[in-house]
A and B are shown apart, each in its own frame.
Chain A
Amino acid sequence: MSLSYLVKRIGFILFTLLAVSVIVFGITQVLPGDAAQMMLGENATDDALAAVRDRLGLDRPIWLQYWDWLSATLGGDFGTSLRTGLPVSEMMLPALQRSLLLALLAILLMLVLAVPMGIIAALRRGKPTDVVIGLGSYVGVSMPEFVTATVVLLLLANPVLGLFPATGYVPLTEDFWEGLHHLALPVLTVSVILIAHVSRMVRSEMIDVLHTDYVRAARMKGLTRRRVILRHALPNALLPAITIVALDVGYLLGGIIVVEEIFAFPGIGRQLIVAIQNRDLPAIQAGALIMAATYAIVNFLADLAYAALDRRIQYA
């Protein structure tokens, strides 16, 4: 990975984040009614509105407002929520932590299940196991999270069985097992699409790799099948997975919004939906910006990881 590549990538991510901030700010400016109207309600007098607009600087040119917003945001100040009157960062950052926990557990579950499923399907190509895994993954990628969530709720959280709590959140630090118990259904729901997608990808990469000369050579050298698959084929099949998993973080973020809403999980997705429902401008801006920036940065890191790892077999 050369220095110029790194500089170029960093330049690009900065440009991307800037463009994302312009888009997020721009879209929230289109909202009917301004922040002053939202704070004071429908019946506010013109004088009161003018006073608040003056205080918030809403009369100033839009690019000046954008600049103020951007510089405050970069300093970690996301403004004050119109709904609660609290600083937005105090609402968003703890929510972000909880969402990250949810996302990391989902990715973990995905890796634990999707990689073995993909390998098994590739090794049993065309056999019943492969067909079953293939059909399962078609169903998996075709179910929106809210459908998966309702199925999961119906099966695992119904009043008769009552295996899992339907909603809520308990911090792991407070009660570890109860916390996991509450996290189980959201994590399961959000990871279904990822598992389906990644297992398909691992399968097709694995099939390609199994037909390469070096795998054939390793086999003819008399290495055990297990060693050929795990040491020679798998690392090369997994390399493209880095990029795909990074792109899947986009789905994951969307999924988190839906799943947090359904399971009443107090994460950033739910904060965003609540902000949208209440037209809470600063909170919408902060939530959208944090999520989009997370996605952009994950893809940036994935590109770097790919560039660093893609050295085509080195025996050191």
Chain B
Amino acid sequence: MPETIRRLLHTPQGAIGSVIVVIVLLAAIFGPWLAPDNPETFNYGNRFEGPSGQFLFGTDQFGRDLFSRILHGAQSTVLMAIFATVIGTGIGAVIGTGSAYLGGRFDELVMRLVDAVMAIPNLLFALLIVTALGASGVNALVAIGIAFAPGMARIARSVALTVREQDYVKAAIARGESAGYIILREMLPNVIAPIVVEMTIRVAFAIMLLATLSFLGLGAQPPSSEWGLMVSEARSYMFRNAWMMIWPGVCIAVVAIGFNLLGDGLRDALNPKT
């Protein structure tokens, strides 16, 4: 593992990606403590202000401090997106590993269903699920998790097929262990590692998707400072104070770039061929 990290930090993508992701995670975790102001405090005397010493990023239509809102919003954007990806990966990994272990007709059926679900574009699928569940940040998270599961299942299955041929799995089968035990205890832990790379890239996509759902009014609801929602609210005022839109937009892009770079870096570090 240290070897992988060394190689990761040696590629330009990996190094830049790691730095961005670490900063973003710190901001997401400690944001509420770092924020200089309450993100929901109205300052009617200071509406639509540009960046200044008092308000680092400026203020919005209620005079709320944009810097504090961005820091608070990091949680409902970044951490929620990571959580959604983890849920999707977890469900997908269990389905894919189980399908690979059981094999035969069952495997065939599951994979055909996975292909069919993947025929629905992610955003459309997530939209439909949120429509059924009702618009809220948590439901958007669940929707993205479900929408990601089939893709992860397919990847997990291909990894699991090789794991299944390993001696320790054969030994467990010979010991007469139950299918559940073999899938969850023997195979899954060895399937997870390769999936992590795929997961990192998916986080970037999850952030974009989550923000898009909020932007469309189907995710986080006001007064949340989720970044997609911030952009959506800023649209009405974009020619009065463009900063309201620029900061959350830039943040979404930078975080997505960070995870994309890290994912590419990890992929290169784990497959050192070129």
Which residues on A are within 8 Å of B, measured CB to CB?
12, 15-16, 19-20, 23-24, 27-28, 30-32, 138-139, 141-147, 150-151, 153-154, 158-159, 250-251, 253-254, 257-258, 261, 272-273, 276-277, 279, 284, 288, 291-292, 295-296, 299
Contact = CB atoms under 8 A, between A and B. Distances in A.
B253 A292 contact: no
Interface string B173-211: 000000000000000000000000000000010001101
B10 interface: no
A81 to B, nearest CB: 16
A67 B254 CA distance: 47
Given A159-B239, A251-B121, A258-B212, A138 B249 contact: no
B122 A250 contact: yes
22 contacts: A12-B112, A19-B112, A19-B113, A20-B120, A23-B128, A30-B133, A31-B132, A142-B208, A142-B253, A143-B249, A144-B211, A146-B212, A147-B252, A150-B238, A154-B245, A158-B239, A251-B121, A254-B121, A257-B127, A257-B216, A258-B123, A258-B212
Contacts of A296: 119
A291 B131 contact: no
Contacts of A272: 124, 127
A23 B117 contact: yes
A143 B250 CA distance: 9
B228 interface: yes
Contacts of B257: 138-139, 142
Given A32-B134, A253-B124, A145 B212 contact: yes
A151 B119 contact: no
Contacts of B124: 253-254, 257, 272, 288, 291-292
Nearest to A208: B274
B77 to A, nearest CB: 11
A270 B117 CA distance: 23
Nearest to B250: A147
A295 B120 contact: yes
A20 B256 CA distance: 30
B252 A144 contact: yes
A147 to B, nearest CB: 4
Nearest to A142: B256
A147 B253 contact: yes
Interface string B107-127: 000001101110111111001
A31 B131 contact: yes
Interface of B: 112-113, 115-117, 119-124, 127-129, 131-134, 204, 208-209, 211-212, 215-218, 228, 231-232, 234-235, 238-239, 242, 245, 249, 252-254, 256-257, 260-261
A292 B120 CA distance: 5
Contacts, number: 128
B120 A23 contact: yes
B253 A139 contact: yes
A30 B257 CA distance: 36
A16 B119 contact: yes
B216 A273 contact: yes
Given A16-B115, A276-B131, A288-B128, A146 B245 contact: no
B121 A253 contact: yes
A272 B218 CA distance: 13
B238 A154 contact: yes
Contacts of B211: 144, 146-147
A27 B129 contact: yes
Contact of A154 (B208, B242, B252, B261): B242
A14 B253 CA distance: 38
B256 A143 contact: yes
Contacts of A276: 127, 131, 218
Nearest to A292: B120
**When A and B form their complex, which 8 residue pairs have the shortest distance between CB atoms, in order from nearest?**
A254-B123, A19-B116, A142-B256, A144-B208, A250-B121, A296-B119, A30-B132, A142-B257
Contacts of A261: 216
B119 A20 contact: yes
A150 B212 CA distance: 13
A150 B245 contact: yes
A152 B123 CA distance: 22
Contact of A254 (B117, B122, B260): B122
A31 B232 CA distance: 25
Contacts of A284: 128, 131
A147 B249 contact: yes
Given A158-B239, A258-B215, A276-B131, A143 B120 contact: no
A207 B252 CA distance: 31
Contacts of A295: 119-121
A27 B245 contact: no
Contacts of B252: 143-144, 147
A20 B120 CA distance: 7
